[in-house]
Structure 1
Amino acid sequence: MKILCVLYDDPKGGMPKSYALSELPKIEKYPDGMTLPSPKGRDYTPGQLLGCVSGELGLRKFLESNGHELVVTNSKDGDGCEADKHIVDADIVISQPFFPYYLTKERIAKAKNLKMAITAGIGSDHVDLQAAMDNKIDVVEVTYCNSRSVAEHIVMMIVSMVRDYHNQHRIVNEGGWNIADAVQRSYDVEGMHIGTVAAGRIGLDALRKMKPFDVHLHYFDRHKLPDSVEKELNLTFHESVESMVKVCDVVTINCPLHPETENLFDDAMISKMKKGAYIVNTARGKICNRDAIAKALKSGQLSGYAGDVWFPQPAPNDHVWRTMPHHGMTPHTSGTSLTAQSRYADGVREILECFFEGKEIRNQYLIVKDGQLAGMGAHSYSKGSATGGSEEAAKYKKK
């Protein structure tokens, strides 16, 4: 079989010759008891850089020794990109949410051999799920592999934004000691009201991690949490996003992107938030209206926006989120720490091993199966597509 793998660029200075840490902590299970990915083999050392082109997710030896062809590229956008040349006869395509190869309806129509799309990570909105269902293409992802990584990133962003760490760090780098400038937008997190849009694996973990800061915790979700969890964390449940954002100082967005959540945080929703609130978005960029966020930061309706996700990705160089005031943007790195890369590389190999051997893939990994939403997909997504406009990614130019 032919496997197309789309990965992000290598480091500008070449692959690391050594790493900061010599080994990773040993973790066997996730908090809900689900075991970590368990492939039969592994052709890399945990802690290595795997998500870039030269890292190849550690798959080449495994695939080629079993007679399969592996094509790895970072050329994924615009007319004539390498990924488009190979998708026409690929059996499997692998892509990461951080550097997504947008599997649009048009690309799927050209992929006559395509049987499965694997997300090396979590979040499969870069695939036109409706087109995948219509064409009986299975979609799978490595559920939970980097959820805790993202939750850590959320806590980092909340504290950094509220304390205005970015500004203070900049002053030091510029040789200054302007304490008044450094603290004029800096507050304590303690006592604030923190709410999450969706309390799944990431959202709930972020709430747990924020509890020691002595904050008031809120959540909205389509699926209400057990009473025991609400009591444990002293959680306030809200029947609607609007109800929650009215009382929160910080809102963290942790829902999947699908037609029901696209553009959820627009001018109208942001106007219902407390004046001076903060938004942290590690879910998907398209859940927030691009211009509405920038306008709210400029007016002061929002005090800060820390986003790890953009639309499209990579974001065009003139994307307004690059230059808007009081932002804490990162280039979708929350779920691709070296720790997380080991887990999602193992997960991809586990999925491939099951597929080649005709064994069932873990139900938790399934997004689309046999033309229907399945597994985690049936729990979290709705039918339709959120890939419209993804061609803008071709406007990104490397500097």
Structure 2
Amino acid sequence: MSEHIVFLDDDGLAPSTTLKRPDCEHTWQQFSYTHPDQVLEHLKDATVALTCSVPLREEHLRQLPKLRMISLALTGRDIVDVEYCEAHGIEVSSVPGYAANTVAEHSLAMILELFRRPAAFTRLMRQVHAGEKPHQNIYFNHRIRDVRDKQLAIIGSGPIAMRLAHLARAFGMQVLFEDRGGKRPGPDCRPMAELLKTCDVLSINCPLTPETYNLIDSPQLALMKQDAVIVNTGRGGVINENALIEALQNGRLGGVALDVVEVEPLHPSNPLFQLIERDDFLLNPHIAWSSEDAMQQLMDSAVDNISDFVARQANAKRIRSA
């Protein structure tokens, strides 16, 4: 049986990504992007859907009787109504853990920028070159700190959190984890309030759930040291952004770096842009996951998931007919 595979949104790939084809008999169709009102038209003959970001909800799925498999070029499966798929024999696969190293590296890069300030000093040199700042012998415009011996508190316990811990320890940082309300014992785990009071860096590397929504709010920020920094490469809603803006503007934090925000894609009207001119504030458009290396691994794995599905289906058919 030949599969008809439809890739719904190849605009999610970097130009450097090589897209291989599944190891099975198939026809292939791909689109730059698929809007919600185009899902049914694009998938009407598909047996397999491949997507980076297009949601597939029950109202679509129940009108696609030929669809047998959805391959997500993602870690999670929240953009698909998985319960409906399970009830109707549609397999849903994802690529958990593919971004562990790249997001951890991005987190560390943000930590280093907030402590060492190389980009901030480059902006200063541009201003000196333009005559906007004085030329002088020594510059102390930005505070520079070593990360060695600083305490990194991580909220999260998945592959990204573990990789960040490994990298931070290589720089000589003391790494501790939030104990998830006493559910995670161990010598390197501490209650949230204790971590907030003692940490030099707070890194958010956990999913967004009802329990973690606004986990870091005004009372939690008030516990932190005045020169502590916060890095969030997890999910935006874990931090109350209005409280974060207020804390940084009032000098109650040493710096903030965000790769994620509560409402994405990041819009120019977002209140966080009040901070954009500050050298102690970094704002990225959710790109920590998207290194060339990680993206290639992601797409290779997403396509391999299709090949594995087809091979398992063929093997099961042989067994039934034997």
> Secondary structure of the residue that 1:283 maps to in structure 2?
coil
Matched, 1:70 2:70: no
Task: State percent identity of aligned pairs.
Answer: 25
Q: Deviations over 1:52-71 (max 9, x none)?
A: xxx6xx14x548x8333433
**Tell me, which stretches of 5 or more residues in structure 1 are unaligned?**
16-48, 231-235, 361-399
> Secondary structure of the residue that 2:226 maps to in structure 1?
coil
The corresponding residue for 1:154 is 107
Matched, 1:281 2:232: yes
The corresponding residue for 1:3 is 6
For 1:6 and 1:308, the matched residues in 2 are separated by 22
- Where does 1:89-168 land on structure 2 (aligned, <5 Å)? 91-96=47-52, 100-103=53-56, 107-112=57-62, 113=64, 115-127=68-80, 138-168=91-121
The offset of 1:132, in angstroms, is 5.9
For 1:191 and 1:144, the matched residues in 2 are separated by 29
TM-score by length of 1: 0.64
Matched, 1:189 2:147: yes
* AA of the residue aligned to 1:204: M
Q: Deviations over 1:114-153 (max 9, x none)?
A: 5544332424444466666677654432122221111111
Aligned length, in residue pairs = 297
Q: 1:355 to 1:9 in 2, by over 3 A?
A: closer
With a CA cutoff of 8 Å and minimum separation of 6, indicate the structure with the bigger relative contact order.
1
For 2:55 and 2:250, the matched residues in 1 are separated by 34
The offset of 1:296, in angstroms, is 2.1
Q: 1:66 to 1:162 in 2, by over 3 A?
A: same
C-alpha contact (below 8 Å) 2:8/2:54 kept by paired residues: no
> Secondary structure of the residue that 2:229 maps to in structure 1?
strand
The offset of 1:156, in angstroms, is 0.9
The corresponding residue for 1:261 is 212
C-alpha contact (below 8 Å) 2:153/2:175 kept by paired residues: yes
Q: 1:267 to 1:171 in 2, by over 3 A?
A: same
For 1:133 and 1:269, the matched residues in 2 are separated by 40
The offset of 1:265, in angstroms, is 2.2
C-alpha contact (below 8 Å) 1:146/1:340 kept by paired residues: yes
The offset of 1:245, in angstroms, is 1.9
C-alpha contact (below 8 Å) 1:197/1:220 kept by paired residues: yes
Q: 1:313 to 1:108 in 2, by over 3 A?
A: farther
Q: 1:303 to 1:316 in 2, by over 3 A?
A: same
Matched, 1:219 2:177: yes
**Tell me, which stretches of 5 or more residues in structure 2 are unaligned?**
315-322
The corresponding residue for 1:246 is 197
* AA of the residue aligned to 1:109: E
* AA of the residue aligned to 2:27: H
For 2:228 and 2:68, the matched residues in 1 are separated by 45
For 1:280 and 1:264, the matched residues in 2 are separated by 14
For 1:279 and 1:88, the matched residues in 2 are separated by 46
The corresponding residue for 1:237 is 189
* AA of the residue aligned to 1:276: D
C-alpha contact (below 8 Å) 1:279/1:304 kept by paired residues: yes
| Higher Cα Rg, which structure | 2
> Secondary structure of the residue that 1:348 maps to in structure 2?
helix
For 1:73 and 1:350, the matched residues in 2 are separated by 21
Over the aligned positions, Cα root-mean-square deviation in angstroms equals 3.2
The corresponding residue for 2:302 is 348
